[in-house]
Structure 1
């Protein structure tokens, strides 16, 4: 079994994918627009340019993304979860945290804690909540 987050961007999916490529080193592995759907599922005009489905890899994890249905324009309200990024290098963790924080909202500033060499919480500029953690593995 595989469990994967599926993120909705309501018209900003292309922008989000480019942001994650830059901020996280993500690799977009699949992208389909509504205009590329077969037959009766195909949509024309501006709505056809919206992303129907995309997959992107961050490290070993694949996440999925969409602009949603062509008629949906309500921005997402992400709540009740965070996407956690675990690293073993403090400098890299801080770099990723700062990249995700650009244009976003820091919820817990990057710092060392009793459980981590470095930890921070941020909602990126798309509202997606992230936790970046460099665990303190020493006893």
Structure 2
């Protein structure tokens, strides 16, 4: 396993929150993608049910799909969680543990074990941004994201 990092969901103010975090911790964003970026590249975005939405709803196109800010040896990551895409943000579901794995096989193995008895949001699959990715809530209510990218 390469690393485990916090992943935060926000109700439309991810960019504001991460600009604040950057002002506190310093550094530069190593990733910033908007929901409209995938659609502009000819790819849809998936909602929380895993259903493809192509293109994303107009009122979400400028929202943050993914942002990452290095914090020492870790990365603070986040996203906007728009209801128009199937999210229902409440305190308690706004945080994930994001694990970067060393292989697809490791991703599948961790997914199979950790999601047992839980609720799967997205099965492991290759995503348009290059990662082999999945997300789920374990049987204890903890939310997880697993990502493998051979180029990182």
TM-score by length of 2: 0.45
